[in-house]
Amino acid sequence: MLLRARTMATVAAVMFVLSATAATTALAQTRAQVRIVGSSTLFPFATAVAERFGQSGGFPTPVVEATGTGGGLNLFCRGIGVRTPDIVNASRRIKASELALCMANGVTPVEVKVGFDGIVVASAATSQPFDLTREQIFLALVRRLPVAGELGANPNRLWSDIDPALPEIAIEVLGPPPTSGTREAFVEQVMIAACPADMQERDCSELREDGVYIDAGENDNLIVQKLTANPRALGIFGFSFLDQNSDKLIGHRVDGIAPTFDNIADGAYPISRSLFFYLKSEHVGAIDGLGEYVAAFTDDRAWGDDGYLTEKGLVPLVAADREKFRADATALVPVSLKP
Amino acid sequence: MTDARNGDDFATIHTRPAARKRLARRYRAERRFRFFGAAAIFLSVGFLALLLGSIVLKALPAFTHNFAALEFDLSAPLEASDPATADYDAIVRNALRDRFPEVAGRTLRRELSALLSSAAPVYLARQFQARPAGTGFTVPLSDTADLYLKGLLARSRTIVATGPAKWTTSGERGALETVTAPDLRAIENAFTGQGGQDGQRPSILIEIAGGVLKIGQLDANIPGGVWLARPRETGNAAEPGQWRIRIFDTPQAKRKLSDRQIVWLDRLVANGTVRPALNTIFFTRGASREPEMAGIWGAVVGSALALVVTLALAFPLGVGAAIYMHEFARPGRWSRFVEVNINNLAAVPSIIFGLLGLAVLLNVFGLHRSAPYVGGIVLALMTLPTIIIAARVALGAVPGSIRQAALAVGASPLQTVFHHVLPRAMPAIMTGTIIGMARALGETAPLLMIGMVAFIVDIPGGFADPATVLPVQIFMWADFPEAAFGYRSAAAILVLLVFLLAMNGAALLVRARFERARS
């Protein structure tokens, strides 16, 4: 019995030693690996580069966290030092307010445009192909439409209500939730782009909440599974998921353009967005392997026309742009938001 | 009375009809309750079996992987002073090309190389450096090639021909002559099924005399096309049943694997180069963006490290707090206040603890981001209330006579608690602890805030190394677009369940020891 009391005392002692070591290690913190935060859209690409970078030897594999673009920039702009990330992946450009926060904390971001991501409208391979325009998508999904001069609930229930040429099936669209960057880009490039003159931009950016548009969560795989189970439904998600599931899904034409790799790359396909990462120039040289990681990402073997990132679904930049951003990243040219 | 439960005996007691009716109603109510109880158990067991069954079925393909045993020319790294500098990419590439000398041209060679995992050179280098004198090295196939060989991708139908056929060859191209009507109809049906150009319609491969002819046109009832693999030189006729028509209903353009790649793979399997083996990569490695190189070990180690910290903090603190509150603290407003707050704390959503970890542990104390010891501290805070409540209930269940007897023979209050009360309460405390730990094992939300939801390839070597945990790994794999990750996430769920069972088993063992010591 006495022995048991002693073991308990030992456990308590171990506990205190543990917390003590934790406290002391925290004081003398250094960092062996590059740390990357940011968008979950770029996560598949950044992790692929990080893994190959780690395999090539010399440096430990960078740690990549999917925090979302906004959350990532918030961490990134908090300051300099080993406790802040070195790179943030962004599925949109940095905002002026975020850049101001960075500058105020002594962080000078360097902008590197990585490529494009198409946003596709797709459904199960067994369904018939649609030929949609952005106006039709807008009419199917907007929450309120002008009815007899006043905004009222969207009356369209069937695709054929919008255009008799479209099939006579119920409108059912699975898409990303409001927190997602994919949703943000979709709203900007479809809903606002197709916004008629007699409507406010704010009303145009609201999607239906009467069960026609279904929030399918951040997990695009879930949308893919739901689409294969329900051939009448359409899904909205990133091109890489269509690319990886091309045996199960078909992508529909938008404004007459099919969502293919080439059409997104040359800008013909109307719904696509640019992907970026921002590098903390103060950390280059201070964190081992940071410059080398950026060099590995901006190598044509990674982001080039035949690079391994294209296999992961990245739509690359044209060669001249790649050259420019590679040079900018090497010379640490600070980002400027002037167009 | 209990064993005289038949109608006659009761009839003598319950004489009035109304009483008999009431009795019958009471029995009916009991039978109903029993039925619903049994049905509820049956239903939940059924759902559990369904859930587990679907996970196991989905996980099974991930436990094996197809490896290719090629003849690697390892003279370069053997002679080099530093074997790490050798060009393993070229070694792997050449070893595969030696098997298919007829494959020429950049596009075709790239297609051929895509059969192997893109990490095959790294995998070979690691094997070679581990045992430079060894032979019989294997490299993993790519995820799509592996899924095809497991029958999970590019499914096909095979029709064994009922009539004879003659083949002709001119250069790359070939044709089938004197095909009888039934076979021709089978080819025709598949060929004209969907129309469109090559790559957009089903693929029809004719396997004849060791060669494979891909049908590209159907002129004058003579199916013709390109030889994907050459037939043997001798003869030009095949008997009925000696040749087969293979139809892939999914068009080539919509598959991750081309017709050529399928033919090459089938050849590698036929000559024994490619064989399925236990997927050791899955059990021994960390995260990866290539499904075939992704492993669960990094997450298992991360989970174990975090839980060790959780247990070391939450168990002594929780049990200590419970003992003090139950055995020593004077009851009053203050101790009631503390108790109410502990109960409330047990109901706080776990993400709140993550926010606390971020705000206090990371931002104020400046502890490591993504480190398992920080994760362990956060999870310990989350588990503490559960353990305290369980321990208090367990201490309360120890009969007061034990305490009085101990005090009566002269034991001090401390001795009473540690020698007599606590050992008796221990089994129930263990149960509460294991419930808390199991919850901690399955948490991702609090870890999101402190950076443990991250892509971490290197296996953590200590408490301060960046690490992730099992549920996070499952969550991330379920989110990746590659189909092979879906099977791996199911397999990871099984690993998580095994981890949980092992933890429960350990608790049972400790419990049994305490119970034996008491009796």
Query: Is A198 contained in some domain?
Result: yes
Nearest by CB: A221 against B366, B370, B478: B478
Radius of gyration of chain A, Cα coordinates, nearest whole angstrom: 24
Q: Residue A108: how many CB atoms within 10 A of its CB?
A: 17
Our CA dihedral for A280, A281, A286, A291, rounded to 10 degrees, sits at: 90
pLDDT band at B10 (very low <50, low <70, confident <90, very high): low
Same domain, A173 and A41: no
Q: Which domains, and CATH codes, for chain B?
A: 65-149 (no CATH), 157-254 (no CATH), 297-518 (1.10.3720.10)
Res A2: pLDDT: 45
Is the CB of residue B295 less than 8 Å away from at least one CB of chain A?
Answer: no
Query: Is A323 contained in some domain?
Result: yes
Res B142: pLDDT: 93
B517: closest chain A residue by CA:
A1
Q: Which of A232, A257, A272 represents a domain boundary (last residue)? A: A272
Q: Which of A272, A288, A309 represents a domain boundary (last residue)? A: A272
Query: Is A168 contained in some domain?
Result: yes
Give the DSSP letter string of B50-106. Answer: HHHHHHHHHHGGGGEEEEE------HHHHHSSSGGGS-HHHHHHHHHHHH-TT--SH
Query: Is A9 contained in some domain?
Result: no
Q: Which of B3, B10, B142 is nearest to B66 (CA)?
A: B142
Which region, left, alpha or beta, applies to residue B259 given φ > 0 means left and ψ of -120 to 50 means alpha? alpha
What is the spatial distance between Cα B275 and Cα A278, in angstroms, rounded to a whole number? 45
- Domain tally, chain A: 2
What is the spatial distance between Cα A312 and Cα B47, in angstroms, rounded to a whole number? 37
Same domain, A177 and A257: yes
**Phi, psi at residue B66, to the nearest 5°?**
-90, 130
Contacts of A4 in chain B (CB under 8 A): 418, 422-423
**Residue A19 class from Cβ within 10 Å (0-12 exposed, 13-18 middle, 19+ buried)?**
middle
Same domain, A124 and A257: yes
A7: closest chain B residue by CA:
B316
What is the spatial distance between Cα B485 and Cα B480, in angstroms, rounded to a whole number? 7
What is the spatial distance between Cα A270 and Cα A276, in angstroms, rounded to a whole number? 19
**Residue B267 class from Cβ within 10 Å (0-12 exposed, 13-18 middle, 19+ buried)?**
middle
What is the spatial distance between Cα B494 and Cα B482, in angstroms, rounded to a whole number? 20
Give the DSSP letter string of B96-153. Answer: HHHH-TT--SHHHHHHHHTTB-TTHHHHHHHHHHH-TT-----EEBPHHHHHHHTTSS
Res A130: pLDDT: 83
Cα B369 from chain centroid (whole Å): 26
Same domain, A265 and A294: no
Per-residue pLDDT of chain A (339 residues; tens, 9 = 90+): 444 556 655 655 655 555 555 544 444 457 788 999 988 888 889 999 999 898 887 889 999 998 888 889 999 999 888 888 999 999 888 989 999 999 999 999 999 999 988 899 999 888 888 889 999 999 999 988 887 778 888 888 999 998 888 888 899 999 888 877 788 889 989 999 888 888 888 888 889 888 889 888 777 778 888 888 888 899 998 888 888 888 888 899 999 999 988 888 888 899 988 899 999 999 998 888 999 999 999 998 899 888 888 888 888 998 898 999 999 999 998 888 765
Query: Is A1 contained in some domain?
Result: no
Q: Which of B 360-389 lie inside 8 A of A, CB atoms?
A: 362, 365-370, 373-374, 377
Please, what's the b/e burial string for B48-69 (b: 16 or more CB within 10 A of its CB; e: otherwise)? eeeeeeebeebbebbebbbbbb
**Phi, psi at residue B191, to the nearest 5°?**
-70, -45
Is the CB of residue A167 less than 8 Å away from at least one CB of chain B?
Answer: no
Show Cβ contacts of residue A127 under 8 Å, excluding neighbours closer than 6 positions.
Answer: A231, A232, A250
Same domain, A138 and A241: yes
Contact of A221 with A238, CB cutoff 8 Å: no
Average pLDDT over residues B71-88: 82
Contact of A23 with B324, CB cutoff 8 Å: no
Rounded to the nearest angstrom, the minimum Cα separation between B367 and chain A is 5
Res B459: pLDDT: 92
Query: Is A16 contained in some domain?
Result: no
* DSSP assigned state of B481: S
Same domain, A200 and A258: yes
The amino acid occupying position B364 is: V
Residue with tokens 């399955």: B442
Query: Is A241 contained in some domain?
Result: yes
Same domain, A244 and A193: yes
Res B9: pLDDT: 62
What is the spatial distance between Cα A214 and Cα A234, in angstroms, rounded to a whole number? 10
The amino acid occupying position B69 is: A
Same domain, A133 and A266: yes
Say how many CB pairs under 8 Å bridge A and B: 124
Task: Give yes or no for residue B267 having a pLDDT over 80.
Answer: yes
Show Cβ contacts of residue B80 under 8 Å, excluding neighbours closer than 6 positions.
Answer: B86
pLDDT tens per residue, range B464-475: 899 999 999 999
Average pLDDT over residues B288-304: 93
Instruction: Indicate the SS3 state at residue B431.
Output: helix
**Residue B81 class from Cβ within 10 Å (0-12 exposed, 13-18 middle, 19+ buried)?**
exposed
User: Any idea what the CATH number is for the domain that residue A264 is in?
Assistant: 3.40.190.10
Same domain, A110 and A217: no
Show Cβ contacts of residue B405 under 8 Å, excluding neighbours closer than 6 positions.
Answer: B420
A247: closest chain B residue by CA:
B254
What Å distances lie between residue B428 and A280, B6, B424, CA to CA? Answer: 53, 42, 9
Show Cβ contacts of residue A271 under 8 Å, excluding neighbours closer than 6 positions.
Answer: A118, A119, A120, A134, A185, A186, A189, A190, A254
Same domain, A133 and A248: yes
Show Cβ contacts of residue B296 under 8 Å, excluding neighbours closer than 6 positions.
Answer: B282, B283, B470, B473, B491, B492, B495
Rounded to the nearest angstrom, the minimum Cα separation between B170 and chain A is 33
Query: Is A99 contained in some domain?
Result: yes
Q: Which of A227, A250, A272 represents a domain boundary (last residue)? A: A272
What is the spatial distance between Cα B221 and Cα A75, in angstroms, rounded to a whole number? 68
Average pLDDT over residues B420-427: 91
pTM score of the predicted model? 0.83
What is the spatial distance between Cα B215 and Cα B389, in angstroms, rounded to a whole number? 73
Task: Give yes or no for residue B175 having a pLDDT over 50.
Answer: yes
What is the spatial distance between Cα B321 and Cα B385, in angstroms, rounded to a whole number? 10
Q: Which of A 221-250 lie inside 8 A of B, CB atoms?
A: 221, 240-241, 243-247
Please, what's the b/e burial string for A281-320 (b: 16 or more CB within 10 A of its CB; e: otherwise)? bbbbeebbbbbebbebbbeeebbbeebbbbebbbbbbeee
Write out the residue range of the structural domain in which residue A172 sits.
118-272
What is the spatial distance between Cα B468 and Cα B375, in angstroms, rounded to a whole number? 9
Nearest by CB: A83 against B84, B250, B369: B369
Above pLDDT 90, what percent of chain B?
A: 48
Res A1: pLDDT: 44
The secondary structure element, H or E, covering residue B158 is strand B157-160
What is the spatial distance between Cα B471 and Cα B489, in angstroms, rounded to a whole number? 10
Task: Give yes or no for residue B194 having a pLDDT over 60.
Answer: no
Same domain, A70 and A48: yes
- Encoding tokens for residue B84? 């790490």
Show Cβ contacts of residue B238 under 8 Å, excluding neighbours closer than 6 positions.
Answer: B161, B164, B165, B166, B167, B208, B209
* DSSP assigned state of A333: P
**Residue A91 class from Cβ within 10 Å (0-12 exposed, 13-18 middle, 19+ buried)?**
buried
Give the DSSP letter string of A14-25. Answer: HHHHHHHHHHHH
Task: Give yes or no for residue B196 having a pLDDT over 70.
Answer: no
Res A285: pLDDT: 87
Q: Which of B449, B319, B435, B315 is nearest to B380 (CA)?
A: B315
Rounded to the nearest angstrom, the minimum Cα separation between B467 and chain A is 9
Contacts of A43 in chain B (CB under 8 A): 455
Q: Higher model confidence: residue B250 or residue B150?
A: B150
A16: closest chain B residue by CA:
B313
The secondary structure element, H or E, covering residue B222 is strand B222-229
Cα B301 from chain centroid (whole Å): 16
Same domain, A267 and A278: no
- Candidates B144, B383, B455, B458, partner chain A, best to mutate (most A CBs within 10 A): B455
Q: Higher model confidence: residue B514 or residue B211?
A: B211
Is the CB of residue A179 less than 8 Å away from at least one CB of chain B?
Answer: no
What is the spatial distance between Cα A265 and Cα A313, in angstroms, rounded to a whole number? 11
**Residue B431 class from Cβ within 10 Å (0-12 exposed, 13-18 middle, 19+ buried)?**
middle
What is the spatial distance between Cα A335 and Cα A202, in angstroms, rounded to a whole number? 30
**Phi, psi at residue B230, to the nearest 5°?**
-75, 140
pLDDT tens per residue, range B318-346: 999 999 999 999 888 998 999 999 999 98
